Amino acid sequence: MDTGCTVGRYLVDRLRQLGLEHLFAIAGDYSIEWLNRYVTPNGIDIVEEVNEVNAGYAADAYARFKGIGALCVTYSAGALCAVGAVAGAYVEKVPLVLINGTPSVKKTITFEQTGFSAHHFITGRETDLQSFEHVTAAAIRVDHPDLAPALIDYALTKCISERRPIYIELLQDMVDLECEPPQGVLEPGRALSDETSLEQSVARIRAQLENAENPLIWLGVEIDRLGLQDKALSLIQQLNVPFVTELLSKAVLSEDDPLFVGVLDGQASSKAVIDVADASDFVLALGVWLTDINSLGWEPDYGKTAFASFDAVKWGTFFAGQVALGHLIDGILAEKIVPRGRKLPERAARVAPAVGETDVITYQGFYSYIQQYIDRNTIVGVDASMNYFGSLLLDVPDPGGFVVQSSYSAIGYSAAAATGICLAKSPGQKVLVFSGDGGFQMTAQCLSTQTRFGLDPVIFVIDNGVYAVEQWLADASVFHTDKPFYKPCELHRWNYSALADVFGCQGWEVGTYGELSDAVTSALRNTSGPSLIQVHVPDKTIPDNANWKTN
């Protein structure tokens, strides 16, 4: 065979064809030759990360904007550190590619037959593969060059079709072996719908939309994951119906839209959203995932809500399987339903808080104050923490300008994810990240990567000294009484702003609104690297929309 193509080159070419421009990597001897000889010279920039967890979160966020993300690690010692990040991408339907540099066929056979171990081995060829089979759409082992093209194409097609991560074991002795070159371009598999299920679903929804006095559209995360934003907007405009989102899908459409009411997230929702949801007599939930984070203290009315998600329509006792969400929206649009003369809810004007420069910052006060810095050029990233509540009520006008991992809810995601966001965003956009202090302690090394590559997110670390959200989930009454925090929720205090000196970036420590104003103004002028703003808040202040839970 003399094709001029090798297994290593084949994988790079396919990733580049799918739009990958950056690959997050941790150096390892089982993968370094592939990185050095094939990735670097062929149009994909390597982002050398500090650990596998940060690389995974960065690649996850990158994929949410670019349609695909990838990280390269080394066998077992590296790959098994990335399991949590890959699991989060699986739960949240993010097209992520994990490339695991793997010991050669000879080393594997030697270990299995004689017990002579190569470093990182656990049980031979099965350990990593079996671990990732449970959290990926496809897990393959490239151990023969003739099979490599078919295996790689299969896995990558599954990734872009199911919008879920895949796992590729790239053996170190396969990289330079010749194989057939790529044929054509990989495309996602077609969405499939059962004709009868689709027709019945469209007919029932049409009838209800025509008869309802106060219908409501509830847009979920699948609108984003399946790229259905334009179709969803066309449907809302055709029907002239108000819409809400969920925390997972916040800002999936512009929150400046006059028909947008807010985020529907149980008792954490604004009063306007709760009033609209209660008054509605039919709710069309498109792509909504129900989770305990998206339905805080609240049970949806299944009798008046039609859920179209996971390729099915569920409404009361009606169930229709194999209904692709895009096909359903197309079907409803084709009906050209004539909107009724409905009174649309009025949006309350947001009033800037009256605070003094020397006033102590509170959790709610911080979010009320920070709104003025969020515009159409802002991408907001939020970590699993009490920041969920504060950020939920922010106005984010940029479509797609809100990144959260609230279904899987891994603490520490957002600061590391900012690396991927900054590499994927459009020129001129700014990235604001809101992290709890406990979460930031988990992935603080992200500042090293961001400084190294000149990325400029502004990371706010809300410093209250506790895992507040964990305490809130276990016993929220602590925040309203003199009861002490649970001991496991107390944090070792860091001087977060001083980390800027460690990593070579810029940092500020603030406790008053005047100090916060000065820090944000300076941080927004800093375009040469990350800005870290340590925001002190009293340990028992929480956002207003978290006060409903008292035990």
Question: Can you say which residues are annotated as belonging to the binding site for Mg(2+)?
Answer: 437, 464
The burial of 115, by beta-carbon neighbours within 10 Å (0-12 exposed, 13-18 middle, 19 or more buried), is given as exposed
The burial of 134, by beta-carbon neighbours within 10 Å (0-12 exposed, 13-18 middle, 19 or more buried), is given as exposed
Write the DSSP string, 32-77: HHHIIIIIGGGT-EEEE-SSHHHHHHHHHHHHHHHS-EEEEEETTT
Instruction: Please state, in angstroms and as integers, the Cα–Cα distance from residue 145 to each residue in 133, 150, 152, following that order.
Output: 22, 10, 11
Quote the CA–CA distance of 531 and 272 in Å, as a whole number.
35
Q: Which two tokens stand for residue 68?
A: 């695909």
Quote the CA–CA distance of 225 and 249 in Å, as a whole number.
9
Residues whose CB falls within 8 Å of the CB of residue 443, separated by 6 or more in sequence, listed in order? 53, 54, 57, 412, 413, 415, 416
3-state secondary structure of 372: helix
Q: What secondary structure letter does DSSP report for 314?
A: E
Q: Which two tokens stand for residue 69?
A: 């993300």
Q: Which two tokens stand for residue 420?
A: 């991927």
Quote the CA–CA distance of 418 and 431 in Å, as a whole number.
7
3-state secondary structure of 189: coil
Catalogue the E-assigned strands of 158-223: 166-171, 215-219
Quote the CA–CA distance of 255 and 219 in Å, as a whole number.
12
Quote the CA–CA distance of 193 and 179 in Å, as a whole number.
37
3-state secondary structure of 485: coil
- The DSSP H or E segment spanning 158 is helix 148-162
Q: Residue 278's Cα: distance from chain center in Å?
A: 29
Length of the chain: 551
Q: What totals of helices (H) and strands (E) does the chain contain, helices first?
A: 20, 19
Q: Residue 207's Cα: distance from chain center in Å?
A: 35
Annotated binding site: 437, 464
Of 548, 219, 551, 517, the residue nearest 389 (C-alpha): 548
**Backbone angles phi and psi of 258, in degrees to 5:** -65, -20
